[in-house]
């Protein structure tokens, strides 16, 4: 939840305007969607790294009745984030910029995961 709260606190710190109830509602939606996006990548990372537990609980993959369906579920959740962005912010002139930020967050996370996965599969000693 830290990522989400950071959005709310950053807006409060960086803006000279006072927060209206609509601002708080919009920021809470953005916070929630950023947490959901992170959850998608956590599901995928747990699968890739074959983790049994995450933060002291069974990973989504290893919960009863879930299994490899977790891959499809994460694949479905990610586009739903963008659908919800459109529902809540589609008429806002900043919608495209916000959607681009979410896409950029995703790309950077995926590139980081690729680097992590690739580096874990390469024998570093072979370059010594």
In the chain, where are the structural domains located? 1-15+29-117
* pLDDT at res. 16: 78
* pLDDT at res. 17: 80
* pLDDT at res. 20: 87
Q: How far apart are the C-alpha atoms of 62 and 49, rounded to whole Å?
A: 13
Q: Which residue has the tokens 């739903």?
A: 80
* pLDDT at res. 4: 65
Based on DSSP, count helices (H) and strands (E) in the chain, helices before strands: 4, 2
* pLDDT at res. 94: 93
CA distance from start to end of the chain: 42
Question: What averages of pLDDT result for each successive group of 10 residues across the chain (128 residues)?
Answer: 72 81 90 92 89 88 90 93 97 95 93 86 61
Q: Which residues contact 96 (CB under 8 A, 6 or more apart)?
A: none
Residue 55 main-chain phi, psi, to 5 deg: 55, 40
* pLDDT at res. 106: 92
pTM above 0.85, yes or no: no
């Amino acid at each position: 939840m830290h990522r989400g709260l950071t959005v709310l606190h950053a807006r409060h710190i960086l803006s000279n305007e006072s927060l209206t109830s609509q601002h708080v509602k919009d920021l809470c939606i953005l916070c929630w969607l950023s947490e959901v996006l992170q959850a998608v990548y956590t599901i995928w990372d747990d699968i890739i790294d074959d983790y049994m537990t995450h933060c002291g609980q069974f990973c989504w993959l290893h919960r009863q009745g879930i299994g490899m369906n977790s891959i499809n579920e994460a694949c479905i959740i990610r586009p739903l984030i963008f659908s919800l962005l459109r529902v809540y912010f589609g008429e806002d002139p900043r919608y495209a910029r916000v959607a681009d930020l979410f896409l950029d967050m995703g790309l950077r996370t995926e590139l980081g995961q690729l680097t992590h996965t690739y580096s874990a599969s390469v024998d570093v000693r072979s370059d010594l």
